[in-house]
Amino acid sequence: MSHKRIPKRKAAIAVGGVAALGAAALLLPNANASQDGATDAAAPKTLKSADASDLASQLANLLGDSFAGSYYDADKQQLVVNVADGDNNVVVQAQKAGAAVRQVENSLSELKAGAQTLKAKATIPGTSWSVDPRSNKILVTADSTVTGTKWDRLESTVQGLGTNMATIKKSAGTFKTFASGGDAIFGGGARCSLGFNVTAGDGSPAFLTAGHCGVAEEKWSDSQDGQPIATVDQATFPGDGDFALVKYDDPNTQAPSEVNLGDQTVQITQAADATVGSQVFRMGSTTGLADGQVLGLDATVNYPEGTVTGLIQTNVCAEPGDSGGSLFTQDGSAIGLTSGGSGDCQAGGETFFQPVTTALQAVGATLGDGGAGAGGAGEQAGGGEQAGGEQAGGGQGVGNEGAGQEVGGDEVGGQDVGGEGAGQNAGGQEVGGEGAGQGVGGEEAGAGNEQAGNGQNTGQNGAGQNNGQIQNN
């Protein structure tokens, strides 16, 4: 079976529509510069959230059983580490490393044991739980379908864990995956969003999206009823995650690494683990850009289709069609892929994400195009250690020495900014082929041009954004 060859200017698919300007304003350059100038080893360091994630991974290894979780205090720009015993040596080690230390009642092993009890006794569709290090408890949530005997069973199980072990709350919506019929990337009657472009283990160009999208359809297109441009290679859902690796059918596809926000782009430089309390941004084909905070890690969600484990819980909104879209940080770290949740972007709700680090490790892929690395650091330029490296995808600080993450290349949408004549993307790479040399958002970029794929200009002031040829507006 032959597949349509993807022209260079159609090499990448955008994750969503034109961004909401309010959230985008938070992503202006240099807004998150580190202010780490502390000289007192015992005083908590001022850290960016990505640096806090790295420090948390190091301290988890250093403190061993005494480590009871950590979170990022965004107001103080500090990492707070929970310590489950009164060992002064442990406290001193954490303080010397630059963390603020808090002694807590529940150890991480006790919290994980509580989560296992919930799994055994209260695996009810419409429920979820995750460890919340800020409260040092398990956060249990039930959607609107959990009533009557189901609610009684859940409440009884939570109470059985002990008075200070878990909290329970109701969600107004229902837990569901966010795939839908409509626009964006299309597979049969399903619509999802592209997450991050990657290089597969065999060197071929590919992208990550939600696993429930990958198991729903094998072939994916960049336009409704269009010819397939990519084929699912691996997909996991339900079970240990919600992720899929989809390979582009044209092996010459170029897919560098950016998230297109409409009025600006964010260069994706590494994959990183989520940190509770840190600010994150989600881009999706239905609702565009939204932001919020990480609420919990290692979340278990009981969808109607089955139980999914190992997710990130946030208060970032999402809606049908946003599934698979990218979750990232202000400084360009890829964090997650949109899985599902409850609510919408009017009423709010809980949303869950597949960690990118574990997805990359599971499918043996590398973030980016496998070629030119944006960072240039030797330890981050190669893909050799990523799949099985000490820190890649296993809850460690990806991006440290040894993580081996590809930092260059992959653009999550926004390469074809305005069809032929747009010329240059934000990083200066030619994406329009015949180029008039306009940058992203340039007044002439794409105005009146063919808008490859859909023929629609979704930008304003001639910005010429066509959302990567996957969204009709």
List, by residue number, the catalytic residues.
212, 242, 323
Q: Tokens 């979170």 label which residue?
A: 71
Beta pairing, strands 270-271 & 333-341:
parallel
CA distance 187 to 226: 10
Evaluated on CA atoms 419, 255, 230, 398, the torsion sign reads negative
| Beta strands 78-83; 100-103: pairing state | parallel
CA distances from 316 to 259, 319, 348 (A): 17, 10, 8
CA distance 175 to 356: 21
DSSP 8-class letter at 454: T
The torsion of the CA quartet 380, 384, 388, 391, rounded to 10 degrees, works out to -10
* Cα–Cα dist 12/111, whole Å: 42
b/e code 301-324 from CB counts within 10 Å (16+ = b): bbbebebbebbbbbbbbbbbbbbb
Neighbour tally for 204: CB within 10 Å: 17
Place of tokens 């069973």: 153
N- to C-terminal Cα separation, the chain: 31
Q: In the β-sheet with 205-209, what is the strand arrangement from edge to edge?
A: 190-192, 185-187, 219-221, 228-236, 243-248, 205-209, 196-199, 366-367
Task: Label residue 472 left, alpha or beta by phi (over 0 means left) and psi (-120 to 50 means alpha).
Answer: beta
Q: 142, 170, 175: which is closest to 340 by C-alpha? A: 175
Q: Is 205 helix (H, G, I), strand (E, B) or coil?
A: strand
Residue 461, judged by CB atoms within 10 A of its CB (0-12, 13-18, 19+), counts as exposed
What is the residue whose two structure tokens read 């596809």? 253
Question: 77 in helix, strand or coil?
Answer: coil
In angstroms, the CA 321 to CA 178 distance is 6
